[in-house]
Structures are given as structure tokens and as C-alpha cells.
A and B are shown apart, each in its own frame.
Chain A
């Protein structure tokens, strides 16, 4: 049914990039409709578990068998727990096909995964933006760091990123709030690494989207060090759609937010070569609505934005809108991880800490830089922390009685551990596709996943483990053990690609401003747009790309170019 509602812009999706699109477009005066396929979650009032303690949960946070049966995919890794139950997509209503195993952890509600994200926020460098061109991999990024730097400044300032300006080329400095501190052991390990590796390997403070000073203009209080971010923060201390972008967009009076709105397709006028709006299925009533707009931003999350494109303009292109290059749905990437090292730190028995950090340390990429050439391309960084062991340290032991109780009531040895996050190369063979063999609850075709690690990643994983072992041993850590668990694509929850940016419509889906080559009034600024993956967490780059694209869209609208 026609709704007869026209907007200046439609934003599909309300996660990190959708929230930014809505904020930027409404602040610039556009009337915006934001569509979200799932339910609404109100800031603070709907964070129902935010003040619960472990003992308030029937199973102290662990998933029941019932919960596991509801979430067979989510249960493959840590996100399945009682605390965040209800924050992940319903797997029965929203199936997908795993031609190869792919762990797809989705948040279908207002705010999307901005509510549950890891908040690590790092800039890309030109080492990242130039990599494809330098190595002849995939296609070149249509932009460079100099173009992105002011946008990183802008989004960091608004979102509130705490960190330290370490002065490293590989990990550019930023517009930071004071960092969350390293503890005494981490600081000493950092100093030993500097010494052992000739100043080439740096253990630095995590840079995270947790504010360390209040932002009264956004009604946000600084981090209280509860480390319960994923439950929704009652202080608004970490960046999310709800805490930061949505209130600003709402305050303009220009935003309409419509939850339970599944975008089925972008409506396309093949004569004008422009999108005219979107068709929506109401997830609760199954009724269909059409909304028209001058510009459409797809921020439905990597894969879902591409799903919408594939499902659109099929009368013009078999593969859907944006498929003319043959690259739509291809070049899926994630960050491969779950490999690293850990060990015990002697001494420091007279040292402890106060508070629970939502952060730790970061070791930026050091491989294949400064002219080094390993047997693989690209590199990896590490996230980790040091702490004193708690009661669980002797769970594998079998002492009993009051001695056990006394021992476990005191902190144990210091330990340190870190996990590598490795860059995955874009590979045309790694792809998603529309699959009509299954349909979702609304009768829509689903996605099938065909993604696997390549030889480059497998070779890199050896260094990811051995370098971690070597660094800890060089820092004097005892009983160092390499750690490695199964990794399947998707587990990084950093899925990227499928609608890459590029310089040439013959080999890419989006241009340098995230416009679909075949429909310039459609912008895709979520992880779908990524041309390569870097090894750093991607969300900050989505924010910067989105703000940049929004400015372009508004200027183009004013110029009559869309």
C-alpha cells in the first residue's frame, strides 16, 4: 500500500553507521525517515539488565539449554549469555544458509550492534588505504588517509574516544579524551617490549569509545568502570546510537524513526537511473508500505545492505541494484582471531588495582611495515590485558575446605594474555548470495554464505601466535603458552565487504563517496563498503565514512546533482 509519505532522505538501519547518517542528515536540515527492522530500545529505560548483578540471573549469566536451542549460531561463541538475551536476532525467524560455516551474530533492534559492540576505535593509516594498490590485490581504495583525517577528527570528537596520542605512523593519533589507564604490570611489560624490540613494538592504551570525561552537552556521564557496557550503559558512557547520535537527530525535529520496518527493496526508476524510495514490510502486521525520498542511505549492516541491493531492480539487473560490476556480494572479509598467548607474571604481589576496566592494552601492527616482507601480506594487532587471577584460578584444582576458601578469597598471581586480530584479504571467491531455497518469517529469500580463510591468513596465524609468545617471553613473562581456538569467518563480528568502494564502475559497487555507481542517490556506508579490512576494528571508519558521505549527499542535493 502506498503511504504517500515523502522524505528528503531515508536511512535504512539504526546501528553505528545508520545513527551517524541520521544525525548528520537531520542536522543539515533534511527530513529523514530512519527504518529499523526490529523493536525499539529506549536509552536507559529499556536497559533492563544494566543494574543486575551476577546473582540476579537464574544461571548467573550462563546460557541454559533452552537458550542454546533458540540460538544455535550465537551459542558457538561468547555472545550467548543471559545478560544480553534479547539483544540478538531471532535465529528461527531469520535463517541463513551456510554453504561454508559462517557465524553471523546480528542485532535486530534500534541501535543494532552499537549497543553490544567492543568499542575499540582505531584510525586506519595509509599503510591500510594503499595496501591493495601497492600489492595488486582486489582494487584500490578511492581515498587516502589525508582525506579521512578531518572526518576521523570530527567523529572522534563527537563520539568520545579515550586514548593516548602515541605518535605512531601505523596507528595515527586522534582527537582523544584521556586514556583509560594501563596497570602497573602492563606499563612494565610495555617498557620491556620497547627495549627488547628496538622501539618497534608498542604496547599502548586501548583506544575505546568510552568517555573518560563527562559530555554534558550530550547528557552523558563519564565511565564508571563497571565493565557492563554490553547491557546498555545507564550513564551513556559509551558511544551508541541511543546514547549519542539518536538524541541529537531527534532534537532537530527532523527525524522519524520507524521500528519493525523490514526494507524489502530499494525502488528504482530505470529511466532516471535513480532510486525513488524503499518498499517496507511491517514486521508485526506483514503489511507493505512504500516511502519515497530523494536520497537513500543503506546502513542495514554488512550483508543486509547488500541483501537489499540484490533484491532491488531485478528487472534491470539479474543480480540486483549495484551488481553491474559483478562484485556485489563478493569480497567478504572479517578479522580472524582467537590466537595469541598468555602467561604468568612473577612478582607484583604487593600490587593490585581498583575498578573494572572496559578496556586493556593494544599492540599495533608491526609486521610487513618498514620494508619488512613476511611470507604473507598485511598484518595483525593484539588486544589484551594483565590482571590478578580471581576465584576461578583453581577451578581446575581440587582442593577443598577452609584453606581453599581462604586462598580463593585473595587475588592470585598476575597473568597477562593477548589475542591477535588479523587482516583478511579481499577475495572474490568469498561471497554471499540470495538463496530462495529458504525464506525468512516474512517469505523473503535468505542469504547463503560461502567464505573461508585463505592461505595468506593461515600463514599469518603462525606469526600471530609465535610473535605473542616471543613478546611475552621477551618481557619476562613465565609459563608462556600460545593459545589457539577454532576460528570461523564471522566470529570477529567485523564482517566487511560485499559492496566495495572503488575508482571504476566496472570493478566496484560504490564510488569514492559511497554512492552506488548505478544509482547515485543511494549511499552505502556500513561495513559493506569496505575495499579491504585493515587489522584494526572497523566501526570508527564507518562513522567517518558515513559523516563524509552525508555531507556529500546534502551538497549534491542542494546542487541538484542527485
Chain B
């Protein structure tokens, strides 16, 4: 079973998806409670997340502070190797921006950011199809996880009922938001 199949199986059976940090078996002591990212890093991650899940008629990743969540999650939940991979990804994005446009990622226009990340996503998708790992994949997964489990993502983009009170198993569906899990 490849990773994609495994992810889909877990998502189907448990309703959640395994993401980096959850599957780690080789533990290395990392310094607990230490944020390994600077405020500039967090701003960078916010902007990256916003490209992946932008503000539309509903809030986007930046409004949901996904960058700050990613910084906390990677600092506390990733192994050293996963942290290194994540940092490598940030460096790669910056290098792509410099190589393509001669400017840092944060200096790019929204259109430039979108075009660049779309290209990276396409490469990562190709690698995944070949069964190879790509640094962008876990980054992308973490953005989705961070956004849809945030209060804004769960309550304003998805549907969240804190106390449903009943279960109805046969309702007509007319395009409403999906249930947040």
C-alpha cells in the first residue's frame, strides 16, 4: 500500500487523515515548548497558507492564523528530521521566488505567488504519483489541517454544531457546507 492509499484508508475509516507527526515512530528529544520559528517565519507561513486556502466570500488561512498554528505544530509535534524537511521547504519556496522573480516570496504579487505555488504543487503531485516524497506535500497537508480545524474554518467555512442533539441519517442535501469533524 502506498502512502496515498494509506492516507485515504485512514481518512475513510477514522474520518481524519494522518499527517506528519502522527506516524512518527523514531523519537528524538526536541526542546518542548520552544517555537523554532521567528515572527518573520510565521508571516511567511501565513502568506503561503493564504495562497493554498485564500480569503473568498469566507475567511482564508491568514485570517485563521494558520501560519502561527503551523509554527507551533512543527515546533512541538515534528521530529527533528521532519522539522528539517519543513525548513527545507520554506527555503525552497524562497529560492524559487528569487530564481523566478528576483525577489523574496513575501515581495511577490498575489498572482506571482499563486503561479509559483501551483507549479510546485504540480511537481509534488507528479512525485506523489511516482511514489516519491516531496517536501511540499506535508506542508500542504498541514495548511489544510490547520485551517479546517481552526474556529473560523470549522464554523464559517464548514458547518459546526457543538450540540447536535440528534442524529438524522437520511436528509436531503442541497449544497450546504460539510460537517466539520
A interface list, Cβ under 8 A from B? 51, 53-55, 58-66, 68-69, 72, 78, 180-184, 186-187, 224-226, 340, 342, 349-357, 387-402, 404-406, 408-412, 415, 417, 419, 481, 483
Contacts and interface: CB of A to CB of B under 8 A. Distances in A.
Interface of B: 3-5, 7-9, 11-17, 19, 21-22, 24, 27-30, 32-33, 51-54, 56, 58, 60, 69, 72-73, 76-79, 114, 117-118, 121-122, 124-125, 128, 136-137, 140-141, 144-146, 148-151, 154, 157-158, 160-181
A398 B140 contact: yes
A68 B148 CA distance: 24
Given A69-B29, A351-B170, A351-B172, A224 B164 contact: yes
A397 B148 contact: no
Contacts of A406: 56
A409 B157 contact: yes
A402 B58 CA distance: 10
B164 A225 contact: yes
Contacts of B165: 224-225, 355
Given A65-B78, A66-B33, 8 more contacts: A69-B27, A355-B161, A356-B181, A391-B148, A396-B7, A396-B128, A404-B52, A404-B53
Contacts of B179: 356, 390, 411
B7 to A, nearest CB: 4
Contact of B181 (A342, A355, A390): A390
Contact of A401 (B24, B51, B136, B157): B51
A146 B16 CA distance: 43
A400 B167 contact: no
A401 B52 contact: yes
B167 A356 contact: yes
A390 B15 contact: yes
Contacts of B21: 62-63, 65
Contacts of A186: 169
B128 A400 contact: no
A236 to B, nearest CB: 15
Contact of A417 (B13, B33, B76, B140): B13
A393 B32 CA distance: 31
Contacts of A340: 13
**Residue of B54, B137, B168 most packed against chain A (CB within 10 A):** B168
Contact of B144 (A180, A392, A415): A392
Contacts of B171: 351-354
Contacts of B17: 392, 395-396
A405 B77 contact: no
Contact of A395 (B11, B24, B60): B11
Q: Which 5 A-B pairs have the closest CB atoms?
A: A183-B169, A355-B164, A355-B167, A392-B17, A352-B173
**Residue of B69, B121, B173, B176 most packed against chain A (CB within 10 A):** B173
Contacts of A404: 52-53
B169 A181 contact: yes
Contacts of A349: 173
A536 to B, nearest CB: 20
A390 to B, nearest CB: 5
B166 A225 contact: yes
Contacts of B9: 342, 417, 481, 483
Given A64-B77, A66-B32, A66-B76, A342 B172 contact: no
Contact of B151 (A55, A355, A481): A55
Contact of A351 (B7, B114, B173, B181): B173
Contacts of B166: 225, 354-355
Contacts of B33: 66
